[in-house]
Every structure is written in C-alpha cells, then in structure tokens.
Chain A
Amino acid sequence: MKPRALIVDDEPLARQRVEDLLVEDGRFIIAGRSGDGLQAATDILALRPDLVLLDVQMPGMDGFEVLEAVAPESLPAVLFITSYDQYALRAFEAQALDYLLKPFDGERFRRALDRALEWLTPPGPGLDEGRLRSLLTEVAQHRPYPQRILGKAGDRMILVPSASIQWVEAENNYVRLHTAEGSSLVRQTMEGMLSRLDPDRFRRIHRSHIVNLDFIQELQPWFSGDVLVLLRDGTRLTLSRTYRHQVEGL
C-alpha cells in the first residue's frame, strides 16, 4: 500500500507542479489537494495523509498555523515548500527539517521524497515528531498569537476568531471554546490553550476556566474568598482563590 500525500498551496499552478512530480515519481498516492489553510487543516484531520506537502505562505492561515491547528490531534510528516521567507528558512535549518525552495526541479523533489519515505517506512528512523513540535514552538514565539483557532463544532471544522472567544472550559482531553454563536471543541490541554491566547486579554480564573476579560460584566465577592465572575451574556463563572492573582492589578 503506497503512502498517501496531501498537496497544500493557494496557487493552482503550484499545486499542479507538485502533483505532476508526485505522479511522475509514482511512490505516493495523492490523497487530496487543499487551496487554503482552513481547507488544509480540515483535510489533514479528515483524510489523515501520511505526508503533507505544505506551502508556507498562504493568505489567511499560513502553513505554520495549519500545523498548529492540527498539532494537538495529529502531526503528519511534513515537507515544507516555500518561495522566500528568511525567517521560516532559519527555523527549518535550526530543526534540520527538509524544505523545498520554489522553483525546484524533479531531481531535488525526488530527493525530498526519498527522505520522507525513510520516515514513513519501517524500519526507517520514523518521523521525528519532536523536531516538528519544537519548530512550531519556536515559530510561535516569534509570531503574534494566532488570530483564529480551529475547532470542531459537531462534525464540522470551524475557524474561531480568537477575539470572539468569551470563555474556555476544560472538558476531559479537550477544551471547549464558547463564543456568542455557540461552542466548539479543540483537542488541547488548558495549559496548551492558554499559550495560544493573548495574555493581555485572556486569564485563567479556575482550574478548568479561562476567561476573555473583554466579556466580563462584573466581579462579585463570593464565599470563602472566591469571586463570582459575571459575563455580559449572563454566564456565571467562579474565580477561585488560587487563581486570584491572575486578575489582580487589572
């Protein structure tokens, strides 16, 4: 059974190029083609490809954001493709990850596929997922907090604008993002979620609650040092004593 590859690029001709070379090479089956970041994240989660050929610069949600969005659930092997982005190149070099520079020829492309196959075929070294994760951590440190977060509403994937999140609730292995429109689930720990939200706006007020300060209506003293946090839509949350320092000095 041949491994399956997903092609991600916002430009039709660039997708065509990758597809041509993949077909010519013959070692992979094409699992799908995604024309933007949201589509790519949805496709990765739905199609579970073995390899993603990922364009780094895309409008809206770029390649790194796509990986960040799917990382909590699954990280496929990734072959990065970029035209020009010195910052991204430094990040790849630092993690010794392979990448393709546009334009590339068939020979260079085949070498990149060779390496990808080594990860995928036992008893190869396997994909070093750790390196990919440290790449994302490194990239995240140098970029603003993501403006959108990919969540699951029912069986659909949706992009939730970070600023519209009113509060976040822990739910087993997931966190639930509450917005005015409804709620969605993200496979993520509370700590993980907190690291993706702008601390100027979001504070943890309870073991299982993060709140967006913009949506707080008022704070009322409650029993035994706890504080009742009243949101504008009427939601009542508790600010527990242990997290009190989080909202002090606001």
Chain B
Amino acid sequence: MATRTLETSPWRYYWGAWVAMGLFMATMDLPYLAWWQAVLVNQIQYLAWGGLGLCVLKLLRKRPLAGAMPLGRRIRNWLLHLVASAAATCTVLFVTLVALRTLEGRPLAGFFPSFRSYLLSFFHYTLFTYWAVVGAHEALELQRQGKDRDLRASQLETRLREAQLQALRMQLQPHFLFNTLNAVTALIRHDPPAAEAMLVRLGDLLRLALEDSRGLVVDLDRELTVLQKYLEIQEIRFKGRLAWRIDLDPPSLRTAQVPALILQPLVENALKHGLSGLVGGGQITIRATAQGGQLCLEVEDDGVGLGTDPFREGVGLANTRATLESLYGSHQRFELLPRPQGGALARAFLPLAVPEAL
C-alpha cells in the first residue's frame, strides 16, 4: 500500500494543480458567463493543458533545454519547443473555443473567422502556460539533482572515513601486531639486538598510528616515516627475504601534502600478494616523483605479479581509489599494472601541493 501511495501522489498533485488553475481562471469569466459555464469551459481548457502537459514532459525528457549539450543541439531543442508551444497553444484554444461555442449553441457557424480573432486576443498569454510547465519541470529537476548531489557527497564522505579507518586498521592489524610480537619472542634468544630494534620500531609505529587519526592530509615525509618503520619490522620478520628502498626525487617533495595512510595499503598489498608467495623473497620500491605539476607515487614489487588472482585488487585498493576520488575528484589517477619483468606496479597521480616552503 505504501508504495502505491508514493507512486500515485505526484500525479494527484499534477492533476490537482490543473483543476485548481481552471477554477481560478474561471473567476475571470464570471462577468460574461453563467458560473457553471465559466467553470466548465475553464476546466476543459486546463484539463486539455493537463493532457498536453504530459506530452511536454515527455518531450522535455527527450529534448532537454537545460544541462550540458552541444550548442547546435541546444538551438535545435529550443526551436522545437518554441514550435511545440505554439502548436499546443493553438490546440488548447481550439478546444476551448469549440466548447464555448457548443455552450452558446452555435458550434460551427462562422467558426474560423471567430477562431482567428480568438487566437489574436488569447494566444500570447496562453502561450505562457506551456512555458510554465517547462519551468516547473526544470525547477523540480534541479531540486532532485541537488538532492542527488548531496546524497553522493555524503556517501563519498562516508567512504573516505571508512577508507581511513580501514587503513588505520591495516596498520594496526592484529595479525601484524601479534606476529611481530611472536617474532620478538624468537629473536630474544638468538639475536637480542634485533629483538630490541623490532620492539622499538613497533613502538614508533603504534605511536604514529595513534596520532594519525588527526587530519586527512599529511606531509609525505611523515607518510614515508611510517612506511619505513613498517618495512623495517617486516624486513626482520622475513629475514633476508625482503629488500626495500624509498626514492624521493626531488628531496623537496618531503613537504608535499598527501592523504594520510595512502601508501600503507599499497605496500601491504605488495607484500601480501607480491612477495609472500615467493620463496626467494623480493624487492619493494617506493618512489615519489614530480611529473608535470603532479605528484606521482609508486609502489613496485617484483613478486608473482597480478596473475589471475581475483583478490589482488581487494578492499585495500578499493579504499585507496575512494580516498583519492573523494579528495581530488577528477584531478587524480590510480592504476595497478603488471610489470613486464614480473611483479606489479601501483601508481597514483595526485595534485602536487607543497606549502609555501618551495
């Protein structure tokens, strides 16, 4: 029942509006016609408009007047609606006049000369009714688009928050945390300095992660520090199976602004899919370069490549895309490519924003 009401109510309003309009206009004819005649003729006129209005709405959907379109098409659509409005006005006036003359009991005698003078007196203001329909449609459409935009904006906002939370969780991933602690229990016996180094790195990382909940955007430097701590821990865990390097060119990029935790999931992904399967281990390279006014961030691994693993682009990367999109809209690009030599390359382009320092 509820859906039925929702579906029918706009049409109830639509026809209600025309009936109301007819009643209102009938008051103008009261000095010249009996009240019931005035009501009848005006109802006929505005219900005719109601019927034609449906065609107008249909035509508007096919041949819109507002919105982005090539100029040629825009001109053609306006011309079409101008002609249509003239035709619709003539039709309505014709119907009205037939009704009027039927009431007066002389439907046909001398109809055309009288229709001509009728047109001359009423065409201009009746024409506006057509354009009132167009105006109402565009207004409602704009309102709907506004609502859609608001909804989209709030959805993007939510996704952004989720992405950050997810990144934070990845950094503090219980799995990572407990495995690191477990590795420390092994190192304590055989390599106490390494155990010490690992605990200190883990402490640093936890501190950075806890502070990271502030701000959407951070210095690239800070982002790289987090990665460095993370990779130093993984390096000890994977004991000689993992080599990594961070290239920054030019070094002044350190102050460039990047979304917080943007690289973390990419490195995590490279480790998980790229290297873990490789018995011999592998290399991860993180690169930040300036390219044509854009900041290019790359995470490259020489692991097993993208292969056919459908999970290669998992939640982490979907979140990376969402974060970039909500922060930079169309001024960003993200891609995950197979490397010809094996392994994969994740690459993000984003606007290069460096605070005054440069």
Contacts and interface: CB of A to CB of B under 8 A. Distances in A.
Contact of A103 (B185, B189, B236): B185
A102 B190 contact: no
B354 interface: no
A101 B187 CA distance: 18
User: What is the interface residue range for chain B against chain A?
Assistant: 20 to 34
B279 A35 contact: yes
At the interface, is chain A mostly helix, strand, loop or mixed?
A: loop
Interface string A97-128: 00001111100000000000000000000000
Contacts of B174: 83-84
A13 B187 contact: yes
A12 B177 CA distance: 16
Interface residues of A, number: 21
Contacts of B272: 59
A217 interface: no
Nearest to B271: A59
Interface stretch (A14-22, A70-78, A176-184): A14-22
A103 B178 contact: yes
Contacts of B273: 59
At the interface, is chain B mostly helix, strand, loop or mixed?
A: helix
Contacts of B78: none
B186 interface: yes
B339 interface: no
A11 B279 contact: no
Given A20-B186, A57-B175, A83-B179, A13 B239 contact: yes
A83 B174 CA distance: 8
Interface string B224-243: 00000000000011110100
Contacts of B183: 11, 13-14, 17
A57 to B, nearest CB: 7
Contacts of B145: none
Contacts of B175: 57, 83-85
Contact of B182 (A36, A59, A60, A83): A83
Contacts of A65: none
B186 A16 contact: yes
Nearest to A86: B174
A36 B189 CA distance: 24
Interface string A40-61: 0000000000000000010110
A181 to B, nearest CB: 16
B186 A17 contact: yes
Given A59-B272, A84-B174, A14 B182 contact: yes
A83 B237 CA distance: 14
A12 B183 CA distance: 9
Nearest to A60: B277
Interface string B166-191: 00000000110111011111110110
Contact of B184 (A11, A20, A103, A105): A103
Contact of A84 (B178, B189, B236, B238): B178
Contacts of B177: 84
Interface string A190-229: 0000000000000000000000000000000000000000
B276 interface: yes
Interface string B256-280: 0000000000000000110011010
A102 B186 contact: no
Contacts of A105: 185
Highest count of chain B CB atoms <10 Å: which of A102, A104, A105? A102
Nearest to B195: A13
B347 to A, nearest CB: 24
Highest count of chain B CB atoms <10 Å: which of A35, A83, A101? A83
B276 A103 contact: no
A62 interface: no
A12 B277 CA distance: 14
7 contacts: A13-B187, A14-B186, A83-B179, A84-B174, A84-B178, A102-B178, A104-B182
Which 6 pairs show the lowest CB-CB distances between chains A and B?
A102-B182, A83-B178, A17-B186, A84-B174, A13-B183, A59-B276
Interface of A: 10-14, 16-17, 20, 35-36, 57, 59-60, 83-85, 101-105
